[in-house]
Amino acid sequence: MTPARDDRDLTLEVSRALEACGVSQEALSGSRGVTTPVTGEQILSVEPHTVDEVRDVIDRAEHAFRVWREVPGPARGAVVKRWGELLSEHKSDLATIVRAEAGKIVSEAEGEVQEMIDICDFALGQSRMLYGKTMPSERAGHRLMETWHPLGVVGVITAFNFPVAPYAWNTALAIVAGDPVIWKPSEVGVLCALATDALLGRAAAECGAPEGLHHVVIGDREAAQPLLEDQRVALVSATGSTRMGRDVAPKVAARFGRYLLELGGNNAAVVTPSADLDLALKGIAFAAAGTAGQRCTTMRRLIVHESVADDLVERLRRAYETLAIGDPGDEGVLVGPLINRQSYESMQAALERSRMDGGTIVTGGQRVLADEFPDAYYVEPAIVRMPQQTEVVREETFAPILYVMTYQDLDEAISLHNEVPQGLSSAIFTSDQAEAEIFLSARGSDCGIANVNIGTSGAEIGGAFGGEKDTGGGRESGSDAWKIYMRRATNTINYSGKLPLAQGVEFI
């Protein structure tokens, strides 16, 4: 374990990074303190927006939409291209801010920024491929086709654990689709938002985009309410807990707005008797302990065939005990802090409930570095063997707890896998092609992401990201996720000189 750095040093690092990204000193003086999980101390401060200010932001975004929707798609793509270039230039700066606000280790912070760069590349190509279909008409001398048009103002609400990447997934595609974006970041991610927005602002200005194309709204849940309730916000994309999604969806649906939800995950991996255990060990360790268990795709359940369970658990125990825990900025550290005290207390409560349900803690669960930094919460990732899948296992605890259960046949494993409310990410480790195909089939994993011989974390931007059930059903990033940011029109063109009606209807 390594002690975290003095918060004064971290404040200096972050201040320099913010300045390099173009954030003004005026934006960093306000009534609300910004705390880092690395030390638990305040490093800077910002000023929250009022509800009236948020409504004014919506006014400006709506005005920008009326201009931006007329700009050709490839020209809109130029803004995203330039944004990606600036993100590349300032990758280290932005990663420094991510590390300070989210507590991520260096490689994970840089990896999150790389996701932003990658989605800019993807969206740039998509700006020339906003394709509609042409369909055969049943009427002679007619052509039937679909066209895609800009949707309107997009509201994006993001969570603390990925303070920049999901915003970029949405924004890069929304901008090429012709939509302005209003961003309400987590209260534990405002510095990341200011830096990211400053770079986008520079890209937009250099490319001649209209003012009002992008905005950041700083505040609590009250500040987000206009985005949910205002008819002019055509789409609300929200990343966070299932509880948050249950609040967002009805409010947006009540006005017939669109919503895109990427909510909780209770992700599992099935390990079969034929699995390469060395490979499985690496995939499980990162997915379960990486980011201190604070990814939506973190592996929280391990369903292992009884014939290999003891061997695999012992390998995992030895691997866990080698994980370096400490300041995420230090070389060699693999596990940084939990985001706050509440996360630590939730983890301890879940571990106690698992004990009461007959679980055995194999390793981990203890707080470390508490003497040096009483306001920061570093913990040892935990492995818990459970006799069955109890209620605490079915719930998502946003902390590094891996529950291990055994099975006898694949149908039992899939049943265990699917009987939780969430449906985000899943994996199977196997060398048997039939087992892999079954897991990927309709009778297999019920998640939006299903992997073979890799863990549950680490999705690439080329595929659509999201899940089913309590995960919300939304899809972001790659594939055809761009369609959610646009509206489809079906067009019939009659060049026959006559007016036959469809289905042979006769009227006049």
- Catalytic positions: 262
Q: What are phi and psi of 409, to 5 degrees?
A: -135, 160
Distance set, CA 3 to CA 14, 94, 110, 372, 405 (Å): 19, 23, 22, 7, 34
Residue type, 416: L
Which H helix or E strand runs over 52? Answer: helix 51-68
Report the chain's C-alpha Rg in angstroms: 24
CA distance 47 to 187: 11
DSSP 75-92: HHHHHHHHHHHHHHHTHH
Burial of 3 (0-12, 13-18, 19+ CB in 10 A): middle
Half-sphere exposure of 154 (CA within 13 A, CB side): 31
**CB within 8 A of 26, min separation 6: which ones?**
none
Q: Of 400, 403, 289, which is closest to residue 348 (Cα–Cα)?
A: 400
Half-sphere exposure of 339 (CA within 13 A, CB side): 22
The tokens for 343 are: 């996360």
With vertex at residue 213, the alpha carbon angle to CA 210 and CA 219, rounded to the nearest 5 degrees, is 140
Indicate the DSSP class of residue 30.
S
Contact 144, 491 (CB under 8 A): yes
Contact 58, 91 (CB under 8 A): no
Contact 389, 416 (CB under 8 A): yes
